[in-house]
Amino acid sequence: MAATPVRVAIIGGGIIGCLSAWRLKQLGMQPVIVERGQLGRESSWAGAGILCPIQPWLYPDDFTRLVDASLAMFPGLQQELSVLTGISPEWLQSGLMIPFFPDDAVDHRQAALDWSQRFGWQVRELDAVQARHHEPLLAGDTSGALVWPEVAQVRNPRLLAAVHAVLEKEQVEIIEQAEVSGLIDAAGRVAGVELADGRAIHADAVLLAAGSWSGGFAESIGISLPVKPVKGQIVLLKGEPGALTHIVKHDRAYFVPRADGRILVGASMEMVGFRTGNTVAEVQAMLNALTRLLPGLADTSIEQQWMGFRPGSPDGLPFIGPVHECPGLWVASGHYRNGVALAPITAHIISRWMAGTPPELDMSRFLPGRTVLDSAKIGFPAQAAA
């Protein structure tokens, strides 16, 4: 007789919760996603979809190993989703360029080259002429650039639409417009979740994947999980296809060209709690960076703007694994600026782990309850707003 599938209540229907649900289902378990709003409409929708950490050389090596394992899964995921749902997440190896300018505040060139060589990331060093040959719209005083031709991107809303479609196809239970307010306890073990409207969802285990809200939820049940919202604003331009071909990243700004000519301009880094909305100052700063670096795009139309809350951990590293002081509770959260890039490996590891197979990678740096590293450069922005 087949073993009874284990029912897992997942708090949060972002990319982490949704992909984990799918993988749990594939392992024969019974996931139920409980989402306060609509599936995949928070950070996972808002993000830029760059599949490479911003300045990965600033992170510990274990993080790069996690990233590498995750990025290797994207071609397969793209294929799987496209075949099963007919929706392509538009995984595209557009390449990443970091141009250099005479007035650069920090020179990351050597650190970037060393890191690339150590981890086998293909990188090319370009002089000024070559850089402008690759991206003709770059400002005239570009002194050179580094290019990683294999770096890819996805379109977040399409990735989420595909994952949503596959969850429906696989008949994964999804409860939307339902806020989890607490956990059900049965003799010292988590036995499901309580909803704000009074309903109870019984389960054998609970996965906390509530993005930026995970920290507050954990605190409400007496657990320390230092995940805080780091707001990011984005402006969407409607350009000509091919005007920009690489993801261009410089200092605090980045520009992400989609295949249809749209260009994402991002992204602010703000500690303002859950204050929503786009602001004059941050949008202006991003557009100033655009016209400084790519002046040829100054006449491009603005189509839309939005914002989201990155689930920030103080050292930029996610929390993935069981919560020892609360048997039956698991966490997959705090992915900060890399939650889309890390979603495939997070879902793979957490689903198998919950099903009884320990991770192949060393996860000690990512465990809930771990020591948080002192790395202000990649963690929360220093300025906490009033």
Ligand X SMILES: Cc1cc2nc3c(=O)[nH]c(=O)nc-3n(C[C@H](O)[C@H](O)[C@H](O)COP(=O)(O)OP(=O)(O)OC[C@H]3O[C@@H](n4cnc5c(N)ncnc54)[C@H](O)[C@@H]3O)c2cc1C
Are residues 314 and 380 in contact, defined by beta-carbon separation less than 8 angstroms? yes
- From residue 280, alpha-carbon distances to 32, 219, 277, 287 in Å are 40, 33, 10, 10
Query: Is the peptide bond between 152 and the residue preceding it cis, with omega within 30 degrees of 0?
Result: no
DSSP string, 148-163: ETT--B--HHHHHHHH
Closer residue to ligand X (CB): 132 or 290:
290
Burial class (CB in 10 A: 0-12, 13-18, 19+), 187: exposed
Query: Residue 56 Cβ, how far from ligand X at the closest point, in Å?
Result: 12
Mark 308-337 with x for binding to ligand X (rule: CB under 6 A) and - for no binding.
x-xx---------------------x-xxx
Closer residue to ligand X (CB): 85 or 338:
338
| Range in contact with ligand X (rule: CB under 6 A) among 162-170, 286-294, 307-315, 351-359 | 307-315
| Range in contact with ligand X (rule: CB under 6 A) among 10-18, 86-94, 200-208, 353-361 | 10-18
Query: Residue 300 Cβ, how far from ligand X at the closest point, in Å?
Result: 19
Q: Which amino acid is at 294?
A: L
- By CB under 6 A, name the one of 56, 89, 215, 339 that touches ligand X: 339
Query: Residue 246 Cβ, how far from ligand X at the closest point, in Å?
Result: 14
Q: Which amino acid is at 64?
A: T
Instruction: Looking at residues 43 to 72 of the shown chain, list those that interact with ligand X (rule: CB under 6 A).
Output: 43-44, 46-50
How far apart, in whole angstroms, are the C-alpha atoms of residue 368 and residue 10?
16
How far apart, in whole angstroms, are the C-alpha atoms of residue 161 and residue 167?
10
Beta bridge partners of 250: 253
Instruction: Looking at residues 68 to 107 of the shown chain, list those that interact with ligand X (rule: CB under 6 A).
Output: none
List the structure tokens of 266. Answer: 């991002």
| Range in contact with ligand X (rule: CB under 6 A) among 9-17, 88-96, 166-174, 290-298 | 9-17
DSSP string, 222-290: T-----EEEEEEEEEEE--TTS--SEEEETTEEEEE-TTSEEEEE---BBBTB--S--HHHHHHHHHHH
Q: Tell me, by CB under 6 A, how many residues bind ligand X.
A: 42
266 lies in the site for ligand X, by CB under 6 A: yes
List the structure tokens of 111. Answer: 């650190």
Closer residue to ligand X (CB): 119 or 296:
119
Closer residue to ligand X (CB): 143 or 383:
383
Instruction: Looking at residues 16 to 35 of the shown chain, list those that interact with ligand X (rule: CB under 6 A).
Output: 16-17, 34-35
Closer residue to ligand X (CB): 139 or 287:
287
Closer residue to ligand X (CB): 77 or 267:
267
Closer residue to ligand X (CB): 142 or 338:
338
Instruction: Looking at residues 232 to 261 of the shown chain, list those that interact with ligand X (rule: CB under 6 A).
Output: 232, 234
Kindly give, in sequence order, each residue whose CB lies less than 8 Å from that of residue 56, ignoring residues fewer than 6 positions away.
63, 64, 67, 115
Query: Residue 337 Cβ, how far from ligand X at the closest point, in Å?
Result: 5
344 lies in the site for ligand X, by CB under 6 A: no
For 19-101, where are the E strands, in sequence order? 30-34, 96-100
From the centroid of its chain, how far is CA 34? Answer: 20
Query: Residue 383 Cβ, how far from ligand X at the closest point, in Å?
Result: 17
Closer residue to ligand X (CB): 4 or 304:
304
Cross-sheet strand order for the sheet of 301-312: 124-127, 144-148, 96-100, 247-250, 253-257, 262-266, 228-238, 301-312
182 lies in the site for ligand X, by CB under 6 A: no
Q: Contact positions toward ligand X, by CB under 6 A?
A: 11-17, 34-37, 42-44, 46-50, 179-180, 209-213, 217, 232, 234, 266-267, 308, 310-311, 333, 335-341
